[in-house]
Amino acid sequence: MLQNHVFIALIIFVLTYTAIISEKINRTVVALFGAVLMIIFQVIPQKIAFGVIDFNTIGLLIGMMIIVIILRKTGIFQYIAIRTAKASKGDPWKIFLLFSIITAIASALLDNVTTILLIAPVTLVITDTLKLNPFPFLFAEIFAANIGGTATLIGDPPNIMIGGATGLGFMDFLTNLAPVAVVVFIVTLLILKFMFRKEFKVTEENKKKVLGFDEHKTIQDKKLLIQSGIVLGVTIIGFILHQAVHLESATVALFGAVLLLLISKVDPDEVLMEIEWSTVFFFVGLFILVGALEEIGVIKMLAEKLVALTKGNMLVTSMLILWFSAIASAFVDNIPFVATMIPLIQNMQSISGIDVSPLWWSLALGACLGGNGTIVGASANVIAAGMLEKRGNKIGFIKYIKLAFPLMIVSIIISTIYLMLFYV
Amino acid sequence: MNYLNVEASQHEMKLIQMGAKVEQINSKMCYIKFVIDGLPVEYVYNLNKKNKYFLERINPYPLAIRSYEKVEDIVKVIEVDVRQFQNMVKSKNVQSFVNITNEFIDIIKKFEDLILYYNVPAEKVGVIMGKIDEINQEINETKKTANRVFFDKEPENLK
């Protein structure tokens, strides 16, 4: 009976992941379908299936989404973008540099997709005005978003999932991942500057048009801006202190979200309507799918194989996870990949008794930075490419990979050196 | 939804820089289509939480009907409108009616181009006004002599 369960579970899991990777069917629908099949075929009882959903991850995602939805209404991102463009005096390289820095910082505090959705529209308006090709700017912002997101617990879904499963907090991520993320970011920017050096030519007339923008017009609701700014600040302080005050990160995010809803009096229906529910339910489906494999012992078996393969050597295991995560995340969605890897690493700890802490950083660096490698490597890439395509600037898979994959490899080499120097 | 937000953000930024106050409202756009004896009759309106619904007929000729505060009002207006068209299609002149209305709409567009692109002399404005008075007079006289065929409600514009 148990062997039947293993067989059925593996078939459901492999078919579901294949369908997700193929991107022929909506990934949320496939993940939920696979999850429900796991319950129908009694691989995992419904009660346990609902129990394996990591509500810390779900709560953190929803809480941050609510804060961003309200913050977006204030026009603050347009204000910052125009201020930056004007401070750069319309100089394309300075705009390129400063927009990338803004994207990286924003992405460390918000998730990557949200950051791209906020920064890309203003970038497109500025590049339109300057009559510049938007591709180098969006390409740099994709990298900045994925690198910035690597630096914190809340910056990228893989980190949110790792934090939710392990109890590692905001400061753990910041102190362990931010230093290497900064180095990767600087090196990437230098390479990008060289790559796109011929793209930054504008006329004085177009520069003047950018200087003619009025950033003050963008702030349409000052009261809401102040309220949102205070709540975002309180939430970030909450993330910094959450372990010290024994609160989960989801509690902090949800507190910020409901506090902002309460004081801003923004229509909650309007806000809740804009939450990316398909992403939330995608996570729910994945948690159940992976939970089912764990329930029947498949994850434990894989962990045993991995421990036997690496003989418990931390350097080998760490490098294997880093590079495998990076290459895999460049081609497949890093969320299902990380969802599977988390219980695998947890099982490795219980089997071998070794301290697996460095492996979490290998996984986070590989999964987050690996997403830069191809156009389908991360949701932020897909969205930015979609925006460019809608404007008639289609980037093919090959064109993107030629530029991005070597850059991604550079970031993984830097991560390798960092992990070898400080962890293994 | 993502792409919509990105598009909307770009429009918002450009329009704000032009001096506009931009308010984005989540709403449902509804397209309604009837085919009455081969004549397509179509409407469009949006539903939102602001209780302001803009109804427009888009076929057989475009006409902004009005804004309403209750969803039921919209359905009632469409119901009456459809009955009026059901009545109208019985006439052998139906195609002429549609053509004349479309001609009026074309004339409005041409007149707008005239005043937006050219400096129109005052005497020509007077001539055009005179032609409109003639048409108005013709419509009123036709109303007096023609048999009324629809009694469910009173005309809103032709008193």
Q: What is the pLDDT of residues A317-354, one digit of tens each?
A: 999 999 999 998 888 778 888 888 999 899 888 887 78
Q: Considering only CA atoms, which of A126, A135, A124, A117 is closest in space to residue A84?
A: A126
pLDDT at residue B125, rounded to an integer: 93
Percent of chain A's residues with pLDDT above 70? 99
Residue A2 has pLDDT above 70, yes or no: no
Q: Which domain holds residue B59?
A: 2-145
Mean pLDDT of chain B: 88
- Contact residues on chain B for A120, CB-CB shorter than 8 A: 6
Return the pLDDT at A121.
87
pLDDT tens readout for residues A68-111: 889 888 888 889 989 998 999 888 999 999 999 999 999 998 87
Q: Count CB-CB contacts under 10 A for residue A211.
A: 13
Residue B2 confidence (pLDDT): 64
Q: What is residue B10's predicted lDDT score, i.e. its pLDDT? A: 87
Q: From CA B96, how far away is CA B61, in angstroms rounded?
A: 12
Quote the CA–CA distance of A400 and A100 in Å, as a whole number. 18
Which tens digits make up the pLDDT trace of B64-93?
877 777 777 888 889 988 999 998 888 888
Q: Is B121 a member of any domain?
A: yes
To the nearest 10°, the Cα dihedral for A107, A112, A117, A121? 60
Q: Give me the pLDDT at residue B147, please.
A: 86
Mean pLDDT of A258-277: 91
Residue bearing the bigger pLDDT, A188 or B150: A188
Regions in chain B scoring below 70 on pLDDT: 1-2
- Evaluate whether residue B62 is within a structural domain: yes
From chain A, the residues in CB contact with B17 under 8 A are: 213-214, 217
How close, in Å, is residue B94 to chain A by CA atoms?
A: 42
Helix (H, G, I), strand (E, B) or coil at B35: strand
pTM of the predicted structure, to 2 decimals: 0.80
DSSP classification of residue A41: T
For residue B25, is it within any domain? yes
Instruction: State the pLDDT confidence band at A115, using cuts at 50, 70 and 90.
Output: confident
Query: Closest-CA residue in chain A for B8?
Result: A121
Is B159 a member of any domain? no
Residue count (chain A): 424
Note whether A124 contacts B17, CB cutoff 8 Å: no
> CA of B12: which chain A residue's CA is closest?
A218
Out of B5, B21, B49, the one facing A267 most closely (by C-beta) is B49
Place of tokens 């099982």: A347
Residue A221 has pLDDT above 90, yes or no: no
Predicted confidence at residue A138, as pLDDT, reads 92
> Is B154 within a domain?
no
How far apart are alpha carbons A249 and A113 in whole angstroms? 20
Q: How far is B47 from chain A (nearest CA, A)?
A: 13
> Is B35 within a domain?
yes
Once rounded to an integer, what is the mean pLDDT over residues A406-415? 96
The alpha-carbon gap from B26 to the nearest alpha carbon of chain A, in Å, equals 7
Out of B10, B17, B49, name the one closest to residue A214 (CB).
B17
In a domain, B151, yes or no: no
Separation in Å, CA of A383 to nearest CA in chain B: 8
H-only helix segments in chain B: 2-17, 71-88, 94-117, 122-145
Contact B41, B97 (CB under 8 A): no
Of the candidates B9, B21, B26, which has its C-beta nearest A121's C-beta?
A: B9
Structure tokens that stand for A275 in this block = 């939450």
pLDDT at A66: 93
The answer to whether residue B153 sits within a structural domain is no
User: Nearest chain A Cα to B49, which residue?
Assistant: A270
Q: Output A179 or B151, whichever has higher pLDDT.
A: A179
ipTM comes to 0.73
Closest CA to B17 of A256, A94, A347, A125: A125
Number of domains in chain B: 1
